[in-house]
Amino acid sequence: MLNNDDEAKKALLLGIGLDNQDGHKRVTRGDNFYLAGGSEETHERMTETVIKFNEKLARKGKHLQELSKEEFRDMMREAEGK
């Protein structure tokens, strides 16, 4: 059973691309993520990474806020292909 503290805990992946040169405003939102900015290539890479991350998260049956720092770091590295 969740108490009020557990219910209040939420997490969000935030990606901000700073290499936009074409003036196009790119924003992508999804379950537990918000991506803004970047060149077309950068934004696409951020999107692919968070989608892979969310797939890994779903396979583990966990929510973002339930991950330890180590789990988060490992899963993000895997999603990035590193």
What total of structural domains would you count in the chain?
1
Separation between Cα atoms, residue 80 and residue 47, nearest integer Å: 11
Parallel/antiparallel/unpaired status of strands 13-17 and 27-30? unpaired
Could you report the per-residue pLDDT of 10-19, keeping only the tens digit for each? 899 999 999 9
Q: What is the pLDDT of residues 10-59, one digit of tens each?
A: 899 999 999 999 999 999 999 899 999 999 999 999 999 999 999 999 99
Range of the domain at 53: 4-80
Looking at residue 1, what is its pLDDT? 42
pLDDT of res. 2: 47
**pTM score, two decimals?**
0.83
Q: What is the 3-state secondary structure (H, E, C) of the chain?
A: CCCHHHHHCCCCEEEEECCCCCCCCCEEEECCEEEEECCHHHHHHHHHHHHHHHHHHHHHCCCHHHCCHHHHHHHHHHHHCC
